[in-house]
Amino acid sequence: MAAGVAAWLPFARAAAIGWMPVANCPMPLAPTEKNKRQDELIILNVSGRRFQTWRTTLERYPDTLLGSTEKEFFFNEDTKEYFFDRDPEVFRCILNFYRTGKLHYPRYECISAYDEELAFYGILPEIIGDCCYEEYKDRKRENAERLMDDNDSENNQEGSMPSLSFRQTMWRAFENPHTSTLALVFYYVTGFFIAVSVITNVVETVPCGTVPGNKELPCGERYAVAFFCLDTACVMIFTVEYLLRLFAAPSRYRFIRSVMSIIDVVAIMPYYIGLVMTNNEDVSGAFVTLRVFRVFRIFKFSRHSQGLRILGYTLKSCASELGFLLFSLTMAIIIFATVMFYAEKGSSASKFTSIPASFWYTIVTMTTLGYGDMVPKTIAGKIFGSICSLSGVLVIALPVPVIVSNFSRIYHQNQRADKRRAQKKARLARIRVAKTGSSNAYLHSKRNGLLNEALELTGSTEDEQQMTKGTSLIESQHHHLLHCLEKTTGLSYLVDDPLLSVRTSTIKNHEFIDEQLFEQNCMESSMQNYPSSRSPSLSSHHGLTTSCCSRRNKKTTHLPNSSVPATRLRSMQELSTIHIQCSEQPSLTTSRSSLNMKSDDGLRPNCKTAQITTAIISIPTPPALTPEGESRPPPSSPSHSTNISTTTTSNIVKVSAL
């Protein structure tokens, strides 16, 4: 309700006295204000900028953070103000919403930052005023598209899940050749054969030398057998490829209807039809025409070239502009052809025999080709001819920039996606370095700390002083925290093997993480049993650790231990210990992906969350990781297979190199 009308509210309430005598039941109590005194001025301190407003202004919208008692959480007793550690620029808009009832979206603001602020203050974006709503929606859509692109490309880049069926892996291999070397090989082979096929088609028609008989033969007939063999080979490959794709497609019906499959079919059909048909004179003419369709093989390249795909997509998205172009051209052609025909009717021996015959002249003139096979001779004809060519230039020039800009936009989007992917990879690599660095630091200090304790026992204090000097306050607090956790879980780090310092540090990281993970997850009884039974397994697995780590690339090390779990508990234990020791830090993308997948794989979620919790622990890690960690509480105890994908192993190699 607008503020102006709100001023009338007391009047309406007073006038409500008119209802009372006729009311059947007593009136409800009037809302009593907590403070009968004057409206209170509230101070809102947003990151240092102080905003002041009346309390009632805020209470106009009681279902938001500021309008309800939720803001009491932010009340600072000492300064008697509400302190929010948020962006003051956006807060200005939000406060204006309370004052005027209209929420505006400032153009300079980033859409996701704005959304976050709105979400924090409990305001629905739908109430953005009409003046700014369209802009908001546009930006939001753009952002969503961009994010979707990212997610799509990420999903495509994940390591293949072990639990995909053969068919699914095949389909992935077809769609994205970078998933495995076999797919890449297949990709290049088909590309090669497409090229060979196209070249043979072209070379077939080149005249190559004369045969005695004074006839120039095209190569196709001279070396008929060779070309036939080549053709057969290519068609074989294409057929096999098509059948494989058909088999692997998740939705066969949709696959059959897709453009690429139609091109495939059209490309190989002529060959089979040619085989089937006999060498009849009358049908061979038709057969020859069919051979034309072999040229469609060149379209198969679009699977290999992204540029082609972009071009095709652009044309599709500019369909309306193209349609307009075509329509206007047709109109102009008909008009000018008619005019030229009638203008040239008078002249003798004119080539403009009919209006359709003039079409050719009009098209050639409008596109400024000007072959010169048909030329107007009368003056009127020449005048109209020049008008025709001028207008042709205009009509064609108009829709073309639209098409060009569409192409450019799509192309840049693609480039942007690629660039983002590359940046993400670089960032993840950096993060990994930071992570191992921090975990190293902890273990280093721990070793020193243990050394400390040992020394304490022996009474020496020198090293102690050294150690305490070395660590900063944050580090020491961090280490203290990790130490507390160790004490809580009753588990501890293995620090005895200095040779494998780097590796063990990462391992311990994982162990620790595992502990933390379990602690986080399982407040259940499983944890109680866990620590006790773990220590023996720990020590027994220590050897396994080293061996495992030294043979990182072998997946099989953990298999013997990860036998079919009898109970959930035990399996968790086994899986966790082994897994942790052998696990590596796959990139975050894989972690995300495997969290997304069905966690059939108990290892996998543990592993991933291991990564994520690492992020929480290690301070230098960019905060981007932490939300992931928190938002994904590791699913406790699902199951049981223990394969680590090859990508993980490849990542293992990477990390150890770090």
CB of 22 to another protein, least distance (A): 5
CB of 126 to another protein, least distance (A): 18
Specify the residue, 2 or 206, whose C-beta has the smaller distance to another protein.
2
Specify the residue, 19 or 73, whose C-beta has the smaller distance to another protein.
19
CB of 99 to another protein, least distance (A): 18
Can residue 225 be called a binding residue for another protein (CB under 8 A)?
A: no
Which of 16, 182, 202, 387 touches another protein by CB under 8 A?
Answer: 16
Q: How far is CA 509 from the centre of its chain?
A: 29
**Alpha carbon distances (Å) from 109 to 44, 49, 114, 128, 142:** 21, 18, 7, 14, 14
CB of 606 to another protein, least distance (A): 53
CB of 3 to another protein, least distance (A): 10
Specify the residue, 5 or 206, whose C-beta has the smaller distance to another protein.
5
d(CA 655, CA 658): 5
Specify the residue, 59 or 221, whose C-beta has the smaller distance to another protein.
59
> Do 106 and 93 form a contact (C-beta atoms < 8 A)?
yes
Can residue 27 be called a binding residue for another protein (CB under 8 A)?
A: yes
Contacts made by residues 561-567, CB under 8 angstroms, sequence distance 24+: 562/603, 562/640, 562/642, 564/640, 565/640
> Do 67 and 92 form a contact (C-beta atoms < 8 A)?
no
d(CA 244, CA 43): 69
CB of 26 to another protein, least distance (A): 4
Q: Reduce the DSSP state of residue 586 to 3 states and report it.
A: coil
**Alpha carbon distances (Å) from 461 to 445, 448, 449, 452, 477:** 16, 13, 12, 8, 21
Total number of residues that touch another protein (CB under 8 A)? 28
CB of 101 to another protein, least distance (A): 12
Can residue 564 be called a binding residue for another protein (CB under 8 A)?
A: no
Can residue 250 be called a binding residue for another protein (CB under 8 A)?
A: no
CB of 14 to another protein, least distance (A): 4
Can residue 214 be called a binding residue for another protein (CB under 8 A)?
A: no
Specify the residue, 25 or 474, whose C-beta has the smaller distance to another protein.
25
Can residue 32 be called a binding residue for another protein (CB under 8 A)?
A: yes
Specify the residue, 18 or 212, whose C-beta has the smaller distance to another protein.
18
Phi-psi region at 370: left, alpha or beta (left = phi > 0; alpha = psi -120 to 50): left
As a whole number of Å, the end-to-end CA separation of the chain is 63
Can residue 319 be called a binding residue for another protein (CB under 8 A)?
A: no
Can residue 41 be called a binding residue for another protein (CB under 8 A)?
A: no
> Do 51 and 82 form a contact (C-beta atoms < 8 A)?
no
Specify the residue, 21 or 250, whose C-beta has the smaller distance to another protein.
21
> Do 136 and 105 form a contact (C-beta atoms < 8 A)?
yes
DSSP for 99-166, written as a single string: HHS-B---TTS-HHHHHHHHHHHT--GGGB-HHHHHHHHHHHHHHHHHHHHHHHHHHHHSPPPTTS-H
Q: CB under 8 A: which stretch of 29-37, 240-248, 357-365, 614-622 binds another protein?
A: 29-37
Can residue 393 be called a binding residue for another protein (CB under 8 A)?
A: no
CB of 9 to another protein, least distance (A): 7
Specify the residue, 30 or 349, whose C-beta has the smaller distance to another protein.
30
Can residue 34 be called a binding residue for another protein (CB under 8 A)?
A: no
**Alpha carbon distances (Å) from 429 to 418, 425, 440, 621:** 17, 6, 17, 11
Specify the residue, 21 or 209, whose C-beta has the smaller distance to another protein.
21
CB of 16 to another protein, least distance (A): 7
Can residue 10 be called a binding residue for another protein (CB under 8 A)?
A: yes
CB of 12 to another protein, least distance (A): 5
What phi, psi does 492 have (nearest 5°)? -150, 170
Which of 13, 50, 99, 419 touches another protein by CB under 8 A?
Answer: 13
Which residue blocks in 205-280 are alpha helix, DSSP H? 219-222, 224-248, 252-257, 259-276
Specify which residues 211 forms β-bridges with.
215
Q: Reduce the DSSP state of residue 209 to 3 states and report it.
A: strand
Can residue 141 be called a binding residue for another protein (CB under 8 A)?
A: no
Specify the residue, 17 or 319, whose C-beta has the smaller distance to another protein.
17
Eight-state DSSP code of residue 30:
P
CB of 133 to another protein, least distance (A): 21
CA dihedral 67, 68, 71, 75 (to 10 degrees): 100
CB of 32 to another protein, least distance (A): 7
> Do 535 and 631 form a contact (C-beta atoms < 8 A)?
no
620, two tokens:
């230098």
Can residue 50 be called a binding residue for another protein (CB under 8 A)?
A: no
Buried b (16+ CB within 10 A) or exposed e, 320-333: ebeeebeeebeebb
**Alpha carbon distances (Å) from 495 to 491, 508, 530, 541:** 12, 9, 21, 14
CB of 131 to another protein, least distance (A): 21
* Secondary structure element (H or E) that encloses residue 15, with its range: helix 9-15
Specify the residue, 10 or 213, whose C-beta has the smaller distance to another protein.
10
Can residue 23 be called a binding residue for another protein (CB under 8 A)?
A: yes
Can residue 17 be called a binding residue for another protein (CB under 8 A)?
A: yes
Can residue 29 be called a binding residue for another protein (CB under 8 A)?
A: yes
Specify the residue, 6 or 619, whose C-beta has the smaller distance to another protein.
6
Can residue 286 be called a binding residue for another protein (CB under 8 A)?
A: no
Can residue 560 be called a binding residue for another protein (CB under 8 A)?
A: no
Can residue 37 be called a binding residue for another protein (CB under 8 A)?
A: no
CB of 568 to another protein, least distance (A): 51
d(CA 256, CA 264): 10
Can residue 35 be called a binding residue for another protein (CB under 8 A)?
A: no
Can residue 11 be called a binding residue for another protein (CB under 8 A)?
A: yes
Specify the residue, 24 or 472, whose C-beta has the smaller distance to another protein.
24
Q: What Rg value do the Cα atoms of the chain yield, rounded?
A: 38
Residues 91-130 that bind another protein (CB under 8 A): none
Can residue 1 be called a binding residue for another protein (CB under 8 A)?
A: yes
In degrees, rounded to 5, the angle at the alpha carbon of residue 439 between the alpha carbons of residues 437 and 449 is 115
Q: CB under 8 A: which stretch of 22-30, 328-336, 341-349, 468-476 binds another protein?
A: 22-30
Specify the residue, 31 or 48, whose C-beta has the smaller distance to another protein.
31
CB of 608 to another protein, least distance (A): 50
167, two tokens:
């068919």
Can residue 498 be called a binding residue for another protein (CB under 8 A)?
A: no
Specify the residue, 20 or 397, whose C-beta has the smaller distance to another protein.
20
Specify which residues 75 forms β-bridges with.
82
Residues in contact with another protein by the rule CB under 8 A: 1-2, 4-5, 7-27, 29-30, 32
